[in-house]
Amino acid sequence: MSTVTTSSRTRPPAPARPRARLDWRLRFGALSLIWGFSFLLIKVGTEGYAPFQVTLGRLVFGTAVLVTAMAVKRERLPRGARLWGHMAVAAFLLNALPFSLFAYSELTIPSTLAGICNATSPLWGMALSLVALSEDRPTRVRVAGLGLGFLGVLTVLGAWQGFHGLDATGTAMALLASLSYPVGWIYVRRTLAGTGNSHLSMTGGQLLLATVQLALVTPLFTSVPEHFALVPLLAVAGLGVLGTGLAVLIQYGLVAEVGPTTAQMVTYFIPVIATAAGVAILGESLRWTTPVGAVVVLAGAALTQVRGKGA
C-alpha cells in the first residue's frame, strides 16, 4: 500500500482501481506444475539435442524472459566488478552446473527418478548449514528429519537390492545437481546478501552469466545439430520460458506475498508431479520403492525445515 500526500487546495485524484491479482494458491499450483513438468521437458529435450545444448537453450530462453521483465519494470543490471564475480560463482552453482547435471543424468535415468533426487535439496541444505552457517543450530527434530530423508533416498534407490537395475552414474549426477543448489544458496547468503539490488536484477544478471558460461563450454563438447528436431526444441523452449524464466518471477511474487517458508513448500509437490508426468506421458516404469521412498524423503525434508527448540 502506498500513500499520496495532496494539497488541501486541490482535489485528490480518484483512487486507482487495484489491479486484479491471481490468488497466491493458484500461482503456487502453477509453479508446482511448471517445475514438476521440467524434468519431463529435460528428458524430451535430450532426445533431440546434447545435454549441454539443452541447458544452453534453457538459459537463453529463461534469460530472455528475465531481461524482458527488467525492461518492463525499467530495472538495470547490478554494477561492480566484485559483485559480478560473486554472481558468476552463483550462476555456476545455481544454474549452469545443476541444469547440466540434470540434463546428463536423464540420458540414463528416468525423469521420475531425477525429480525425486531434486527433492533431496532440503536435506543437503540442512546438512551443509550445520557446518557452514553457525547461526543455524541443529535440533533433534531436524536431525531426525535428516536421517529419515536419507533413509528415503536409500529406499528410492533400492539399496537392499544392491541398486539393481539402477544407473549409478546418472543417479549420482542427479544427486550432485540437487546438492549444488544449497551450496549455491549458502554462497549467495554469505556474499550477495544486502547488496541493495532487486531480486529481479540480481537474477537477471545471474542467468545472463550462466548463459555466457554455457555458451563458452557447449562448443567444446558438442557440434552444431545437423537438423533441429521440432518437439525437443519446443521442450527446450518451454523449459526455458516457463521453468526458468516465468517460474522465477512467480516464485519471487510468492515469497513477497506469503513468505519464504510457505513458498518453499512447492519443493514437496515437484517430485509428485514429476513422477505422475513421467509415468503417464513418457510411459516410464515405476517400482513400489520409488513412491514409498519419495514419501519418506519428503517427510524428512519437511522435518528439516521445522524451526524452534528441539526436544
**Measured between alpha carbons, how far is 35 from 295 in angstroms, rounded to an integer?**
18
Q: Residues 206, 243, 58, CA angle at the centre, nearest 5°? A: 60
What is the pLDDT at residue 97? 98
Residue 185 sits at the vertex; the CA angle it makes with 182 and 190, to the nearest 5 degrees, is 130
Give pTM, 2 decimals.
Answer: 0.84
Contact 271, 113 (CB under 8 A): no
CA nearest to 70, candidates 263, 199, 234: 199
- Enter the C-alpha cell of residue 257: 506475498
Q: Which of 282, 302, 285 is nearest to 37 (CA)?
A: 282
Residue owning grid cell 556474499: 191
At 160 the pLDDT is: 58
Other CB atoms within 10 A of residue 30 CB: 16
In angstroms, the CA 12 to CA 165 distance is 72
What pLDDT is attached to residue 6?
33
Distance spanning both ends of the chain, measured CA to CA: 41
Question: What's the one-letter identity of residue 72?
Answer: V
Is residue 311 classed exposed, middle or buried when 0-12, 13-18 and 19+ CB atoms within 10 A define those classes?
exposed
User: For the residues of 98-109, what is the DSSP string, one character each?
Assistant: HHHHHHHHTTTS
Nearest CA among 186, 169, 201 for reference residue 80: 201
204-214 pLDDT tens trace: 999 999 999 99
Average pLDDT over residues 150-171: 74
Asked whether the beta carbons of 244 and 59 are under 8 A apart, the reply is yes
Rg (CA), the chain: 21
pLDDT at 281: 94
Q: pLDDT tens digits, residue range 115-145?
A: 989 988 888 887 887 776 655 566 778 778 7
Per-residue pLDDT of 1-57, as tens digits, reads: 433 333 333 344 444 444 546 788 899 889 999 999 999 999 999 999 999 999 999
What pLDDT sits at residue 73?
92
> Residue 75 — φ and ψ, nearest 5°?
-105, 150
Task: Tell which residue, 157, 126, 98, 177, has the closest CA to residue 294.
Answer: 157
